[in-house]
Structure 1
Amino acid sequence: MASNSPAPEGIELQEAPTAGAWGEWNPTEDSARPPRGKHRVVKQRGGLARSSTVLGVGVIAAVGASGIATAQDRPQVAISMPSLPDFGLGGGGQHAEAEGSGAGAEAAAKPTGIIAQQTAGHTDAGATLVGRILQQAESQESAADSQARAQAERAAQEAAAAQAKAQREAAQKEADDARAAAEKEAKEAAEAKAEQERIAKLAGSYSLPTSAYTLTSHYGDAGSMWSSGHHTGLDFAAPTGTPAKAVAGGTITSAGWSGAYGYRIVLELEDGTEIWYCHLSSMSVTSGSVGAGETIGRVGATGNVTGPHLHLEVRKGGSTMDPLAWLESKGLSV
């Protein structure tokens, strides 16, 4: 810096050389030591002072590799120092700043040292995290597949169980139907056997009213020869004097002449059924008890007749019924 005050004696003033006369001046730490109390140039160490742009490039590279950057893995941000003012050192400050800018640009273009290591470390951590995420996704997909298979197996088991149940129910129903049919058949057979036994037993207790006969008129036949307009009994045509027998054990309650019926015997059975023997030629028993098959009279042609025959009527409660059906119900073959 030039001064306007006069120089002391004995000292020759020399004009300060210009930048062209001295050449390019690049001050060092020793030559650029600032006066006490003034600003001090901070020495940058190991390339830690990098611009925010360089740091951003490293962080973006790490995030791009890993996909996720956590706060605890984020590198410490290095703060760059601002450009220092010129303290009368000529253009050297600007030149140093330019030199520093060139070095920073080169470092930004090609990160080295700690930044490169941190970037590589984040890349490895990101790859590890991606691998863990993929492994977790595969595990979840495997669990979902296992659950789907389990559900499918459970559904198949339930369907098989339902089908087996339906088959068992169908088989049980078929067995029940077969058993019911067998029981019904057995019951019908037992009833038929019981009926046969009953008829056989009754056959021993009942007897045909006569023998050597021919059925000429049946119950319900219509004609003018009967006063009611229809036949009320069963006619056994047989020669006169053919024995007339008691069809079952009972009591003779009436015996004698009865108009159009001629000589008639009324045999009352134990259940109250009345058997009428009509058109008899003679009466052997007129009162008292008789047994099945016992002769109580003889076939004749008395009363309103056209020839010798036994007119047999079966009455119960004052009403007539078919003698043929009644005799067959007692096990007799007429």
Structure 2
Amino acid sequence: MASNTPAPEAPFDAFGGGAAPSAPDTEWNPTEDSLRDRARSGGRHRVVKQRSNFARSSTVLGVGVIAAVGAGGLATAQDKPPVAISLPDLNLPDAHDLPGVGTLLPAQEERETVSADRANPNPLTSATYTTEADERASRSGQVTRTSLTTAEAPGAADAGEALRARILQQAEQQQASADAAEKAAAEKAAAEKAAAEAQAKADAAEKAEAEAKAKAETEAKAKAEAEARAKAEAERLAKLAASYSMPLSSYSLTATYMQSGSMWSSGYHTGLDFAAPTGTPLKAVHGATVKSAGWSGSYGYRIVLELEDGTEIWYCHLSSMTVSAGQTVGTGETIGRVGATGNVSGAHLHLEVHPGGGDGVDPAAWLRSKGLTV
């Protein structure tokens, strides 16, 4: 089978690193005819002396493209727009068949993995962080944690920082709103409490004023009633005083009611003694009827006046009597004179009071009850 005569072979240095002696300054450029002859021959053409800058740069560029595809996960559509690469259809050998290069390139499974990775040009990862605002918000129950998604590629840092800044700004705004709401609520509660306290004080003052007013009115009413009673009593006593009279105009009290002593047979005094000179006129204390007038043993000469209510007034130890039994007398009328008859030690009027004709009572108290001054 005919074929193109190959050029003399020499050790191939794919990257010109000095693996073999340098080739002469000649180069072989494949043409359409030479390539067609090779295709007809069915053989595989190995370019040995392809040392041109174009060939070397094409090979290196192909390796760079494959490496770029393998690292495609690090590039993002946001940071680096895709670059269109065009190569002439030179029917170059597969890069994996190049000596010293195939071992550096990824296998078929790795290329499929790279292709799958390139299906998503923007691989993202979820990053969670907690800020000071989040900590404050967590304590106040407003915000618990901020979660955001950023790109893994280094070029996404600016976008992540912008998102982080927006979230922090939003958290600060929420915290500020919460603080303002809390402050407003506290101020409202304080105002309501102050208003309630002021109202309570006003109610207490009003209640105290009402109680004081009621107390003053009660006291004034009681005072007025007491004054009215005192006035009525004074009027009553004045009327009584006008209708009653003291038995003597001038006297000295020498013995009181129930006073004890050996001078009295009963061991105590049963009346009230008014000492006065013999012959001093004696007056009727009130209008009455003379029940009796005469001698009465130890009482000497005695006159008994009976009042309308049945009370008996006894005048004892008289020196003389000017009325007789059954006679009616008026208040202040002279009925006899002071003397020293009966069981006495000196001239005086012994006066006794017997309500209803029964046992005697204190004459001084009875006279006072009639408005008289003893």
**Superposition TM-score tier, normalisation by shorter sequence:** 0.5 to 0.7
CA contact (8 A) 2:96 2:103 kept: no
1:132 aligned to 2:190? no
Pair 1:298–1:116, CA change in 2 (3 A): same
1:315 aligned to 2:354? yes
TM-score (norm 1): 0.65
Pair 1:89–1:182, CA change in 2 (3 A): closer
Give the SS at the match of 2:360.
Answer: strand
What do residues 189-248 of structure 1 show as CA deviations (whole Å, max 9, x unaligned)?
333333222221111010111334333322233222211112111222334443322211
Which one of 200, 214, 226 corresponds to residue 188 of structure 1? 226
- After TM superposition, the runs of 4+ consecutive aligned structure 1 residues lying more than 6 A away are 47-50, 115-119
TM-score (norm 2): 0.59
Give the Å deviation of 1:117. Answer: 8.7
Pair 1:303–1:19, CA change in 2 (3 A): farther
1:21 aligned to 2:12? no
Structure possessing the higher relative contact order (Cα contacts under 8 Å, 6 or more residues apart): 1
CA contact (8 A) 1:233 1:322 kept: yes
Map 1:157-306 onto structure 2 (within 5 A).
157-280=195-318, 281-306=320-345
Structure 2: tracts of 5 or more residues without a match? 7-43, 80-92, 123-152
After superposing the two structures, state which structure 1 stretch, 172-181 or 302-311, moved more. 172-181
Map 1:6-17 onto structure 2 (within 5 A).
7=1, 11-15=2-6
Map 1:14-53 onto structure 2 (within 5 A).
14-15=5-6, 18=46, 20-23=48-51, 24=55, 26=58, 51-53=72-74
RMSD: 4.1
Amino acid at match of 1:291: G
Q: Which residue of 1 aligns with 2:98?
A: 91
CA contact (8 A) 1:220 1:231 kept: yes
Amino acid at match of 2:175: A
Pair 1:254–1:49, CA change in 2 (3 A): farther
How many residues of Structure 1 are paired with residues of Structure 2 in the alignment? Answer: 272
CA contact (8 A) 1:211 1:242 kept: no
The separation in 1 between residues aligned to 2:254 and 2:204, in whole angstroms, is 65
Structure 1: tracts of 5 or more residues without a match? 1-6, 33-42, 60-85, 109-114
Pair 1:50–1:286, CA change in 2 (3 A): farther
What do residues 107-151 of structure 1 show as CA deviations (whole Å, max 9, x unaligned)?
99xxxxxx8997655654543343233212211110011001111
CA contact (8 A) 2:291 2:326 kept: yes
The separation in 2 between residues aligned to 1:249 and 1:229, in whole angstroms, is 33
The separation in 2 between residues aligned to 1:229 and 1:190, in whole angstroms, is 44
Q: Which residue of 1 aligns with 2:372?
A: 332
The separation in 2 between residues aligned to 1:187 and 1:126, in whole angstroms, is 89
**Percentage identity across aligned positions?**
45
Give the SS at the match of 1:321.
Answer: coil
